[in-house]
Amino acid sequence: MSVTDAAIGKIRDLIMSGRINPGDRLPPEQELATMLGISRSSLREVVKALSQARVLDVRRGDGTYVTSLEPRLLLSGLSFVIDLMEDKTLIEVFEVRKLLEPAATALAAQRITPDELDALHDSLASMRSAHDPEEMVVRDMDFHAHIADATGNASLCSILDAISTRALRARIWRASMSGLKSMTLSQHGLILQALTDRDPALARSAATIHVSESERWLREYLMSEQERVLGTPRVRGTIVAADLATDL
């Protein structure tokens, strides 16, 4: 284990033990370096790494603080990484969504409040009146975010937000606006009805169908992109039609 990794582990232990809490200011650089048994230059590497991970917040002229450590903050970088993923890995992300979103929707059916139901109705109405792909992406994400919020589970909300594949959704909506809008509105309506009825089993089924159909659209989109560049050398991470057709 490198000196940097060992020091990161020590800071993690300090936070987990409660000796350092969210929002606390860390000791001055020299004092902290001595506490961790590393040089000041190594400490700067540690602070940089933990800042990028949203664990520490460096405030110029003020000091270094532990962030709130809220799940949404700590997982915020994951969505950026997912946006950079290649085709085959994006299919794997959708498989994760198929595991989590139906379970989250079933949980939301048990916990959703009248105000949250009203917000979902408003979100669906906004989708119906949307006329361009960019707006549809916003409304689509908004609908799913309301469902996640209704679970009352901040960690689950953060994970679902991180794997929401916002950039990919925008690409698919731009390519398939007409047919995708009709399907999405219909399936969102079924999900909303199940939530209104507070029926966890039906909510789970409706969400499973929706994510599975979304995955189908993704596969078709990636296949069309592959066909568009047909004849060029296959590069790392691209998927030929036979690969994408698997499990359709």
Cα distance between residue 71 and residue 54, in whole Å: 10
CATH code of the domain made up of 3-69: 1.10.10.10
Q: What is the pLDDT of residue 77?
A: 73
CA distances from 6 to 11, 13, 36, 83 (A): 9, 11, 9, 30
Q: How far apart are CA 245 and CA 248, in angstroms?
A: 5
Q: pLDDT tens digits for 188-205?
A: 999 999 999 999 999 999
Nearest to 86 by CA among 245, 235, 248: 235
Lowest mean pLDDT among 15-19, 191-195, 213-217: 213-217
pLDDT class of 106 with cuts at 50, 70, 90: very high
Angle between helices 87-111 and 177-196 (to 10 degrees): 30
* Averaged pLDDT, 48-64: 92
- Report the top-level CATH class of 74-245: mainly alpha
pTM recorded for the entire structure: 0.71
Quick one: three-class SS letters along the chain? CCHHHHHHHHHHHHHHCCCCCCCCECCCHHHHHHHHCCCHHHHHHHHHHHHHCCCEEEECCCEEEECCCCHHHHCHHHHHHHHCCCHHHHHHHHHHHHHHHHHHHHHHHHHCCHHHHHHHHHHHHHHHHCCCHHHHHHHHHHHHHHHHHHCCCHHHHHHHHHCCCHHHHHHHHHHCHHHHHHHHHHHHHHHHHHHHCCCHHHHHHHHHHHHHHHHHHHHHHHHHHHHHCCCCCCCCCCCCHHHHHCCC
| Region for residue 85 given its phi and psi (left: phi exceeds 0; alpha: psi -120 to 50; beta: otherwise) | beta
Token pair in block for residue 8: 């990161």
Please report where in the chains the tokens 């809220």 appear, as a residue.
70
Bridge partners of 66, per DSSP, are 56
* pLDDT of residue 74 exceeding 70: yes
**One-letter amino acid of 35:** M
Which of 127-141, 219-233, 234-248 has the lowest average pLDDT? 234-248
Backbone angles phi, psi at 244, to 5 degrees: -70, -30
**What is the Cα–Cα distance from 127 to 157, expressed in whole angstroms?**
21
Q: Which amino acid is at 194?
A: A
Pick from 10-24, 25-39, 187-201 the range whose average pLDDT is largest: 187-201
Domain map of the chain by residue range?
3-69, 74-245
